[in-house]
Amino acid sequence: MNAKNYKVEELKIYRMKKVPIFKPNPRYRDGLTIFEIEREMSLEEKIAFIDEMRDGIASYLLDILKKWEKEKDTLPKDQFGNPKTVSKKAWIKRNDKRKIIDIEYRIGSYSLFLNRFSDMTTTCPTTDYGYSQEYTGEHIAHQWFHNLLKKLYLEEKKYFKEHDPFQQKLKKVIDYGKQYGICFDSKELNNIIWNGLEDVSEESLDRYISAYQELEQTINHISCKLKFK
C-alpha cells in the first residue's frame, strides 16, 4: 500500500479483511484483530507510510523515544530511582520541538491516531488498565501503523455512508423514523431505526421511505386544514 496514491474514495481499508490475533488479557472483550496488510508490510515500510501520511511524525517521534531511552538514566533521580519530574519536563522541552509530548498533566505521554501512549518507549505498552493492545511487547511503530489504519478505516466508512446510494436510503429511513417516532408495527423497521440493522433489502428501504413520505404529506395536509385564517 502506497501512501502517495492513497485515496479515501477507493475504500481499500474499509473493504480489507481483518484477521484475529492472540494476546493475553486483550483490551476488547471479543478479542483483537488486525488488517491483513499489517502482516505483509515490514516495520520500515510502516514507518515510511506513516511519515508520508502525517508529515514525518513516526521518524520524528522514534528519534525522540530512542534518545530518551539512551539519556534518561543520566538525569537526576527521585527517591524511587525515576528521573525527577522537573528534569523530565526540561528534557522533553529541549527535544520535542513539535510539542507532541505532554509536559503538563501526564508527563511523557502523547496521543497519536486516536490512541494515547503513557510513556516514551519504543516498545508498545499495555493500556493504562493493563490490557494488551494489538502489538503490546513489540515495536511501537507497529501499533502506530495499526492505529492509523483504524483511523483511515473510520474515515472511509464515513465516506461510504455519505456516498453509497444504499447507505443514503438507510440514513433517510433512520432520520424519518427518529423524526416521527413511528415504525408502522414493523419489527424490521424498528431494528433499522434503533438497533443499527443494515442487512435489509433496498426494496424494503424504498417501501419505508414511501410510507414516511405519505405520512409526511398527510401531516402537512392536516396541518394546513387546521390553520386559522
pLDDT at 28: 87
Give the closest residue to 64 by CA, choosing from 172, 140, 153, 170.
Answer: 140
C-alpha cell at 153: 478505516
What pLDDT score was predicted for residue 5?
A: 86
Tell me the residue type at 105: Y
- 30 and 20 Cβ atoms separated by less than 8 Å: no
- Gyration radius (Cα) of the chain, Å: 25
Q: What is the DSSP string of 5-29?
A: G--GGG-TTTTS-EEEE--SSBSST
Is residue 120 within 8 Å of 91, Cβ to Cβ? no
* Residue 88 CB neighbours (<10 A): 21
pLDDT (0 to 100) of residue 95: 95
Helix (H, G, I), strand (E, B) or coil at 122: coil
pLDDT, position 191: 92
C-alpha cell at 37: 496488510
E runs forming strands in the chain = 18-21, 32-35, 110-112, 115-117
Q: Are 11 and 167 in contact (CB under 8 A)?
A: no
Render each residue's pLDDT in the chain as its tens digit; 229 residues. Answer: 777 889 999 999 999 999 999 998 898 888 999 999 999 999 999 999 999 999 999 999 999 999 999 999 999 888 888 889 999 999 999 999 999 999 998 999 999 998 999 889 999 999 888 899 999 999 999 999 999 999 999 999 999 988 988 888 999 999 999 998 888 889 999 999 999 898 999 899 999 999 989 998 998 888 888 876 5
Residue 99: the pLDDT is 94
Q: How far apart are CA 145 and CA 151, in angstroms?
A: 10
**For residue 229, what pLDDT is reported?**
53
